[in-house]
Amino acid sequence: MSNFIRTAYVYGDSFWEFYNSQTKQVQDKIDWVIGLVRTLRIVLEKFFKHLECTDGLYEMRVKVGSDIYRIFCLFDKGQLVILLNGFQKKTDKAPRQEIERAERLKKQYHGDKEK
């Protein structure tokens, strides 16, 4: 029997390009936060939050020391979390270009699903 409430799935290469460019310490923390999202029914906003300025995008929130990282994702069929892209956050707001990239990936994901 599995302890997972949700399944995480990576769409495309953007997430892996981001993930593989990080240090082992950052990768471990990303894995830990993904584990929280997969196993906890209610995930604290500190780690997982809906992006108010978007339609259906969420961000996983990772902090290692003073460095902050974000991974954009979406839900599909309720319990499937689709990881889209990630970046290191250097300002208070998520960069518009990263949100637009996630929106494009979300649209591609839904387009590919319909094929």
Taking only the tens place, the pLDDT of each residue in 44-87 is: 999 999 988 788 899 999 999 999 999 999 999 878 899 999 99
Position 79 scores a pLDDT of 82
Backbone conformation region of residue 53, classed left if phi is above 0, alpha if psi is from -120 to 50, else beta: alpha
For residue 13, pLDDT beyond 90: yes
Taking only the tens place, the pLDDT of each residue in 29-50 is: 999 999 999 999 889 999 999 9
pLDDT tier for residue 4 given thresholds of 50, 70 and 90: confident
- Domain covering 7-114: architecture: 2-Layer Sandwich (3.30)
